[in-house]
């Protein structure tokens, strides 16, 4: 009877995963756990049935969700979750197979190989910046020459069949159908950087697209040059080095150094290993025999969850109008950390000051200019301050005082203060835009040149301490042996 129930659950979830993928994905694990709990209270044959059919229900539901019908324009989160869960299970299977066939070092080696492949893929995806810069520069040059944009894009893509030409043809297709430039870019080039699309959409409302595209080209060119610049040390290098060193030291302190300690104890009475060696041995034993499962779980989460999610978030276009949950969490963390807060605030100020200058230059009111900044791709916490500023201005409060009360900084208040600089708002905004751009680049380079030497020194100290701890045990044995031979 219980076998029939289990098979029925399998069939139901296969159908439910295809028809209602979200419901199936959320309720699948509780149902499987309930089946295991019920089978544990019954005969061993029933428990064996659930043990066999439990994974079948799990993977069958995931496959059904992956093959389910997708609504056009939806986020399709059940299909994405099912895909990543299946990929994680495949990686775990590879690691387990390597561990069984080649031992722990084989599993570690396969893990580093997967990290290497992920790094290569991430570096390959950086070419998207160059593609985005090419597409935006092509659109900008066509607009500046007063050419019909659909015909200009078609001419730029003629005779070519690479990825850039395909993107230009897709944008041209949506432009011919009557869509605006920002909407055509969204539909024809979904992976276009969100800040570029947001700036173009805001500039369309004030008829300042050429100036906005010129500014976007400058930003993209700076980012592309930054990615090509040689770095003294890649950010991923310390992580890989520390991870590799962790496993090497752990193996030495668990399997090799205890043998030295045994030899030293048998040869002498009361002799001990150096304090540094005992300290590392204590940490290794604590990890290996007391909380090894926790360390393994942490590494599994990092390899299977954190790294894939980081790569996915990094190369997924943002949605300024409807931010993703991960984008909201990331913006909140960046806004409340000491150093990252300054960079997030400065980067947001660059875009806001630039659009305010373009809007006021086009003859927009202050209310409309501030309202246009809400569509920019800025930090969500900063956007709340912009909303607060707009609400105060709409209620009739002084623009400069409202900016200061909304914690947008004294510079914005100074730009709109009629008592201090009457009639010079546009000139001050242009100066502030240049100031924030140069200040951001200066602080970024300064942080890089300060941080990497500190990381290098810390890594050198750690490596030196480990080398001293390992060779200190050998020196202790040699000294004690010499004392026995030459008393």
51-90 per-position pLDDT tens digit:
666 777 788 888 888 777 654 444 466 777 777 787 777 7
CA 200 to each of CA 139, 197, 301, 307: distance values in angstroms, whole numbers, following the listed order: 11, 5, 39, 32
pLDDT at position 98 over 80: no
Q: What is the mean pLDDT of the chain?
A: 76
Give the start-to-end residue ranges of the domains of the chain. Answer: 2-82, 127-228, 236-316+454-485, 330-423
Instruction: Please give the Cα distance from 277 to 271 (Å, whole number).
Output: 13
pLDDT (mean) for 449-473: 80
Angle between helices 77-102 and 44-66 (to 10 degrees): 130
Residue with tokens 């203060």: 417
Cβ-in-10-Å burial (0-12, 13-18, 19+) of 208 comes to buried
Instruction: Please give the Cα distance from 132 to 212 (Å, whole number).
Output: 15
pLDDT at position 305 over 70: yes
pLDDT band with cut points at 50, 70 and 90 for residue 109: low
Helix, strand, or coil (residue 52): helix
Which pLDDT score is estimated for 125?
Answer: 55
pLDDT (mean) for 401-414: 87
Give the distance, in angstroms, between the CA of residue 189 and the centroid of all CA atoms in the same chain.
21
pLDDT band with cut points at 50, 70 and 90 for residue 229: very low
Task: For the chain, give the percent of residues with pLDDT over 90.
Answer: 1
Q: Over the stretch 126-168, which tens digit does the pLDDT of each residue have?
A: 567 778 888 888 888 888 888 888 888 888 888 777 788 888 8
Would residue 423 be called left, alpha or beta, if left means φ above 0 and alpha means ψ between -120 and 50 degrees?
Answer: left
Instruction: Please give the Cα distance from 472 to 466 (Å, whole number).
Output: 10
pTM of the model: 0.59
Which pLDDT score is estimated for 181?
Answer: 87
Which pLDDT score is estimated for 306?
Answer: 76
Residue with tokens 């875009």: 351
Architecture of domain 127-228: Up-down Bundle (1.20)
Instruction: Please give the Cα distance from 164 to 233 (Å, whole number).
Output: 31
Give the distance, in angstroms, between the CA of residue 475 and the centroid of all CA atoms in the same chain.
46
Tally of CB atoms within 10 A around 447? 13
pLDDT at position 101 over 70: no
Would you say how long the chain is, in residues?
487
Tokens of 306: 């954190």
CA 171 to each of CA 107, 159, 238: distance values in angstroms, whole numbers, following the listed order: 46, 17, 42
Q: Over the stretch 316-368, which tens digit does the pLDDT of each residue have?
A: 777 777 888 888 888 898 899 888 888 888 888 888 888 888 888 777 788 88
Instruction: Please give the Cα distance from 35 to 39 (Å, whole number).
Output: 6
pLDDT band with cut points at 50, 70 and 90 for residue 189: confident
Q: Provide CB contacts within 8 A for 173, sequence distance 6+.
A: 188
Which pLDDT score is estimated for 476?
Answer: 76
Q: Provide CB contacts within 8 A for 216, sequence distance 6+.
A: 136, 140, 195, 196, 199, 200
Contact 285, 249 (CB under 8 A): no
């Amino acid at each position: 009877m219980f076998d029939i129930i289990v098979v029925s659950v399998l069939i139901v979830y296969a159908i439910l995963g295809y028809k209602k993928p979200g419901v199936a994905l959320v309720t699948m694990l509780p149902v499987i756990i309930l089946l295991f709990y019920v089978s544990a209270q019954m005969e061993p044959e029933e428990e064996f049935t659930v043990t066999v059919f439990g994974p079948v229900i799990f993977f069958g539901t995931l496959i059904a969700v992956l093959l389910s019908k997708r609504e056009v324009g939806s986020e399709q989160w059940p299909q994405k979750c099912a895909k990543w869960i299946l990929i994680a299970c495949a990686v775990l299977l590879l690691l387990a197979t390597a561990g069984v066939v080649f031992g722990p070092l084989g599993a570690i080696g396969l893990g580093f190989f997967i990290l290497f492949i992920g790094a290569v893929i991430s570096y390959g995806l950086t070419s998207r910046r160059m593609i985005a810069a090419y597409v935006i520069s092509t659109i900008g040059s066509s607009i500046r020459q007063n050419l019909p944009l659909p015909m200009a894009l078609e001419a730029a893509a003629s005779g070519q069949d690479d990825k850039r030409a395909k993107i230009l043809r897709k944008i041209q297709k949506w432009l011919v159908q009557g869509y605006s430039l920002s909407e055509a870019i969204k539909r024809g080039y979904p992976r276009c950087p969100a800040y570029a699309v947001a700036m173009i959409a805001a500039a369309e409302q004030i008829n300042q697209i050429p100036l906005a595209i010129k500014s976007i080209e400058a930003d993209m060119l700076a980012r592309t040059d930054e990615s090509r610049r040689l770095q003294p040390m890649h950010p991923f290098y310390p992580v890989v080095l520390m991870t590799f060193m962790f496993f090497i030291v752990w193996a030495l302190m668990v399997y090799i150094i205890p043998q030295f300690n045994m030899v030293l104890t048998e040869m002498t009475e009361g002799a001990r290993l150096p304090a540094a060696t005992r300290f590392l041995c204590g940490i290794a034993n604590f990890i290996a025999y007391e909380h090894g499962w926790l360390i393994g779980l942490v590494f599994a989460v990092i390899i299977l969850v954190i790294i894939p999610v980081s790569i996915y978030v990094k190369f997924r276009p943002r949605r300024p109008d409807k931010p993703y949950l991960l984008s909201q969490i990331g913006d909140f963390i960046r806004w409340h950390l000491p150093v990252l807060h300054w960079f997030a605030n400065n980067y947001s100020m660059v875009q806001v000051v630039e659009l305010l200058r373009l809007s006021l230059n086009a003859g927009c009111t202050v209310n409309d200019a501030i309202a246009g900044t809400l569509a920019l791709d800025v930090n969500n916490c900063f956007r709340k301050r912009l909303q607060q500023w707009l609400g105060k201005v709409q209620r009739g409060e002084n623009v400069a005082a409202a900016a200061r009360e909304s914690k947008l900084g004294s510079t914005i208040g100074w730009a709109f203060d009629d008592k201090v600089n009457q009639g010079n708002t546009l000139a001050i905004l242009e100066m502030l835009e240049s100031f924030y751009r140069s200040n951001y680049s200066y602080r970024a380079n300064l942080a890089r040149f300060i941080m990497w030497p500190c990381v290098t020194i810390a890594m050198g100290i750690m490596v030196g301490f480990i080398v001293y701890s390992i060779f200190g045990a050998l020196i202790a044995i040699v000294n004690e042996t010499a004392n026995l031979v030459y008393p």
